Chain A
Amino acid sequence: MSPKHIFAIIIVLIIGYAALDSAFIVDERERVVVVELGEIVGQNYEPGLHFKIPFIQTVHSFDRRIMTFTEEIERVLTSENKNLAVDFYVKWRINDTVDYYLSTQGSEQRTRDLLTEIVENDLLAEFSKRTIRQAVGDDRNEIVAAVQVQANQDAKELGVEIADVRIMRLDLPDEVSESVYERMRSERQEVIRTLRAQGDAAAQEIRSDAERERTIILAEAYSEGQTIRGQGDAKAAELYANAYQQNPTFYSFHRSLQLYRDALGDDDLLLLRPDGELFKYFNPKPSADSSSR
């Protein structure tokens, strides 16, 4: 291969490279600045194919999309001087490519570090104004909104917009957690005792109520039973009275005889005087006839 050939190839390569280097593609997902000798000469390119002067101008492209970084802060002091552990994420995007390029040289890592500092600072400030209760609960959104707005002021100088700040984790320090667990346990104990007492009370009530009911039922039954018996007695008395009133004397006689018959049983020992009416013939006396009459 002659030097002539080699020379021709080199020329071709240089021309080819220059041709390639004079064009650049801007993707939908990119923002691009064109830098010429340290000076920004082009920005805000639409996505598509663009041209520049080869060799002299260089293209710096950055992500147009929303980017994320997450960060953990182990100790965040609240207003009552309690520590919280906070995880958060920050959604950010490049807003002004020129500012961004100038302030960070387009280094994502640097931007991230700067933003972390800014956001952490604001978060700590916001948390220090609130109690744990507020931070955990209702003020959470207020905190992140305030942080976002304030951090955006600083981030603006970096050409960056903070799209969102969110808290992903907010934990109590261990010793406080332990006291919370202890409290939860004691609350459960209270519930348990209450339940047991309630159970006993309810059972007692059910029992007493049933016993009361039983007493009432029996009393009513007794009352009704006695009434019925009384009716029976009354009816019987009426029947007896009606019958016996016809001849009370005879009733008395008749009934007495019945009584003797019933009352005096076998083997009873009777001590009699033979001067009764029964024995008037047994040992006749002159008075016997007259007395019988």
Chain B
Amino acid sequence: MAWNEPGKGQDPWGGGNKNNGSGPPDLDQIWRKLRARFSGNNGGNSGSNGGGSAGGPSPAILLFIVPIALVVWLATGLYVVQPGEKGVVLRFGNYTETQAPGWHWHFPYPIDRVYKVDTQQVRRAKNRAVMLTKDENIVEVEVAVQYRISDAMNYLFQLREPDATVEQVLRSAVREIVGTSRMNQVIQEGVQVEELEDRALDNVDLKEGSGQPAEKDALQGVDDKLVDEIKAQQNAYPEITDRSRAKLPENVSKIVQATLSSYNAGINVVAINVQYSQPPEQVQGAFEEAIKAREEEERKKNIARAYARDIVARAQGDQARILLDARGYREQKVARAEGEASRFTELLAQYERAPEVTRERLYLESMGDVLSSANLILAEQGGGGPLMYLPLEKMLNDAQRNKKVEDAANNGVNSGSGDDSSSSSSSYNGSSGGSSSSSNDRSSNLRSRDRNS
């Protein structure tokens, strides 16, 4: 403890206070005594040697020594105030002046004393501690304060331990700010995870209302005058409104500065740095896991997005393909129709010139093409003719091997029913009236083929 350490924060004079403040005179006195004794011895020696005047030093030596001693004594009054320093001069303990950097002279000890205070140097204090937040979480915070002596006189004369005081004030201020902020307003952004709710308020052990009901009016029993005093004191205190994480150093700084100013410490806070603010070691694992979970959430979303982009892009590709196919189909259909229509129109023109011949020609041509490539069986079926043996089984097997069975006659019937206007087909119909049962079977067979094709 600083206040207990001998010498710390206590100047030599203060230390000498136990001797009723006569420390310096004591030293002075001893010195004088020595001088007196020295000169006395000297005098004695000279007396015994010279046998001259007893009880005093010889005037010649005195004349020599005294000015030299005086000069030396005066010379001890020279001092340098370094750049950035202030020299505070006390004459008999009373403040007389403050000197700027440079060479100076003061009346030597014990008349004047000079204290040099560095007002430029930035000093530092820091504090690291585990503390409670308003929502009853525990956080670990390290805060450093940089400060500078703004008023050398106050720094020297107001506080016994100004530098230790800065550290104490810092500790108190950090606790205060953290104690009135929620955890998320304290810990570093990277560590934060979005709050679910202020669920901490309903926590098991500490919630308000457990234990005895608290008397909110804590000041009762103190008389009104005191209450006023207390309130006045609180009013003098800086108000903290914005408790966000970004404002944390500023808020601490405000309180530290206000407190130091209330002591007239002569100290200016230059900066407050929050160097560390995280959940304590005991729960860091859980916090890291939460961060990981958050990243995982992002990752899942990203994978899903990639998948989404992929299938949508594919679908768009499919869409383009479908449309192109459809357009192709349309073009093809139209082109074919045009082609076929014009073919028909051309042919029709010729047909109309000579319908009979053209018709005949076309028919025979087609039949020629068809019959030339097919296997033919001609079965004459005159009325009452001898029964014809047709090895249909074998023929069908052969045909099935080729997977094609056709019946030209039945085709003729079908087409004939398609356009009854043709007289030739009507005769066809008439002639086919007595078709055999076997040919009927074949016709059904053919129809099924038609459907297939």
A26-B93, A221-B322, A264-B411 are known contacts. Are A187 and B377 too (CB-CB below 8 A)? no
Q: How distant is B70 from chain A, measured CB to nearest CB, in Å?
A: 18
Known: A70-B3, A192-B286. 11 other contacts (CB 8 A): A24-B21, A26-B93, A29-B13, A47-B90, A68-B2, A141-B237, A188-B287, A221-B323, A225-B323, A273-B431, A276-B431
Task: Give the distance in Å from the alpha carbon of A89 to the alpha carbon of B161 in the complex.
Answer: 13
A277 touching B230, Cβ below 8 Å: no
B419 touching A240, Cβ below 8 Å: no
Q: How distant is A202 from chain B, measured CB to nearest CB, in Å?
A: 5
List A contacts of B61 (CB < 8 A): none
Question: CB within 8 A of A29: which of B14, B322, B365, B418?
Answer: B14
List B contacts of A207 (CB < 8 A): 304, 307-308
A232-264 vs B, CB cutoff 8 Å, 1 = contact: the mask equals 110111111011101111111110111111011
Question: CB within 8 A of B408: which of A12, A167, A170, A264?
Answer: A264
28 contacts between A and B (CB under 8 A): A20-B25, A25-B93, A26-B93, A30-B13, A47-B92, A68-B160, A80-B210, A133-B206, A141-B234, A149-B230, A168-B172, A179-B204, A179-B205, A180-B137, A184-B286, A202-B300, A224-B322, A232-B329, A232-B332, A233-B333, A239-B334, A239-B337, A250-B351, A250-B359, A256-B418, A260-B408, A263-B406, A269-B395
List B contacts of A200 (CB < 8 A): 300
A254 touching B362, Cβ below 8 Å: yes
Stretch at the interface among A36-44, A54-62, A97-105: A54-62
Question: CB within 8 A of B289: which of A1, A26, A133, A188?
Answer: A188
Task: Give the distance in Å from the alpha carbon of A63 to the alpha carbon of B13 in the complex.
Answer: 10
A195-B296, A224-B323 are known contacts. Are A79 and B214 too (CB-CB below 8 A)? yes
A68 touching B226, Cβ below 8 Å: no
The answer to whether A46 has its CB under 8 Å from any CB of chain B is yes
List A contacts of B93 (CB < 8 A): 25-28, 30, 47-49
B14 touching A218, Cβ below 8 Å: no
A69 touching B3, Cβ below 8 Å: yes
B131 touching A170, Cβ below 8 Å: yes
Question: CB within 8 A of A224: which of B218, B297, B326, B371?
Answer: B326
The answer to whether B301 has its CB under 8 Å from any CB of chain A is yes
B222 touching A150, Cβ below 8 Å: yes
B82-122 vs A, CB cutoff 8 Å, 1 = contact: the mask equals 00000000111111000000000000001000000000000
List A contacts of B323 (CB < 8 A): 221, 224-225, 228
Which residues of chain B from 268 to 321 have a CB within 8 Å of any chain A CB? 279-280, 282-283, 286-287, 289-290, 293-294, 296-301, 303-305, 307-309, 311-312, 314-316, 318-320
List B contacts of A2 (CB < 8 A): 54
- Main SS of chain A's interface residues? helix
Question: CB within 8 A of A249: which of B229, B262, B364, B421?
Answer: B421
Nearest 6 pairs of A and B residues by beta carbon: A80-B211, A232-B330, A210-B308, A199-B297, A243-B341, A236-B337
B216-237 vs A, CB cutoff 8 Å, 1 = contact: the mask equals 0011001000100110011001
Stretch at the interface among B73-81, B192-200, B244-252: B192-200
Output the nearest chain A residue to B279 by Cβ-Cβ distance.
A184
The answer to whether A113 has its CB under 8 Å from any CB of chain B is no
The answer to whether A156 has its CB under 8 Å from any CB of chain B is no
B407 touching A206, Cβ below 8 Å: no
A169-B129, A184-B138 are known contacts. Are A292 and B263 too (CB-CB below 8 A)? no
- What is the size, in residues, of chain B's interface with A at 8 Å between Cβ atoms? 187
The answer to whether A176 has its CB under 8 Å from any CB of chain B is yes
List B contacts of A1 (CB < 8 A): 44
B92 touching A25, Cβ below 8 Å: yes
A179-B204, A225-B323, A239-B341 are known contacts. Are A145 and B230 too (CB-CB below 8 A)? yes
Task: Give the distance in Å from the alpha carbon of A88 to the alpha carbon of B154 in the complex.
Answer: 24
The answer to whether A284 has its CB under 8 Å from any CB of chain B is no
List B contacts of A249 (CB < 8 A): 419, 421-422
The answer to whether B136 has its CB under 8 Å from any CB of chain A is yes
Task: Give the distance in Å from the alpha carbon of A204 to the alpha carbon of B179 in the complex.
Answer: 41
B55 touching A250, Cβ below 8 Å: no
B327 touching A228, Cβ below 8 Å: yes
The answer to whether B33 has its CB under 8 Å from any CB of chain A is yes
Output the nearest chain A residue to B412 by Cβ-Cβ distance.
A276
B21 touching A32, Cβ below 8 Å: yes
B215 touching A79, Cβ below 8 Å: yes
Q: How distant is A130 from chain B, measured CB to nearest CB, in Å?
A: 6
Task: Give the distance in Å from the alpha carbon of A2 to the alpha carbon of B55 in the complex.
Answer: 9
List B contacts of A272 (CB < 8 A): 376-379, 408-409
B297 touching A149, Cβ below 8 Å: no
Q: How distant is B185 from chain A, measured CB to nearest CB, in Å?
A: 12
Q: How distant is A212 from chain B, measured CB to nearest CB, in Å?
A: 10
A21 touching B22, Cβ below 8 Å: yes
B381 touching A68, Cβ below 8 Å: no
B21 touching A30, Cβ below 8 Å: yes
Which residues of chain A from 158 to 191 have a CB within 8 Å of any chain B CB? 163-164, 166-172, 176-177, 179-181, 183-185, 187-191
Q: How distant is B364 from chain A, measured CB to nearest CB, in Å?
A: 8
List B contacts of A225 (CB < 8 A): 322-323, 325-326
Question: CB within 8 A of A46: which of B94, B160, B213, B390?
Answer: B94
